[in-house]
Amino acid sequence: LWGAGGQALVLAELIQSSSLRLVLLVDNDATRQSPIEGIRIVHGVDGLDGWLRSNPGVAHAFGVAIGGRGGADRLGLHDVLVRRGLRPATFIHSRAFVAHDARLGAGVQVLANACVATRAVLGRQCIVNTAACTGYIDLVIAWGEWRY
């Protein structure tokens, strides 16, 4: 996960009940410590690149754990990580509802008790926050937006 604040804690809880495994946090704040026991943190692109060099040949997915209105930041980090050969994970909490005909972009986060209604279209790196709902037919949420 890129980001080691509150959104990382939310996603770490979600990951625990999924098929994914959290192995690393990356944060631009060089003073930040890992908030998750047993999970290593590296700092910035240089830290990530060093970690990737020491773990070659392993397929890694990523999440961008920057919540709130940080959509532009999420999108920029998405591109940085894709250029490094990583693939974006889509996060759907086990207690969320996503309609069968909803379309989710890469890296979308649908958190606990959230609802993505029928025919909704969410662009990459959107967050549907805890207990939020996207609305109904033909709703389009632009890339990197956040719903609460």
Q: pLDDT 10s digit of each residue in the chain, 148 long?
A: 999 999 999 999 999 988 889 999 999 999 999 999 999 999 999 999 999 999 887 778 999 999 777 788 889 999 999 999 999 999 999 999 999 999 999 999 999 999 999 988 888 999 999 999 887 655 566 555 555 4
Q: State the pTM of this model.
A: 0.89
10's CB contacts (< 8 A; 6+ apart) are: 65, 67, 111, 130
Tell me how far apart the alpha carbons of residues 36 and 45 are, in angstroms, rounded to a whole number.
20
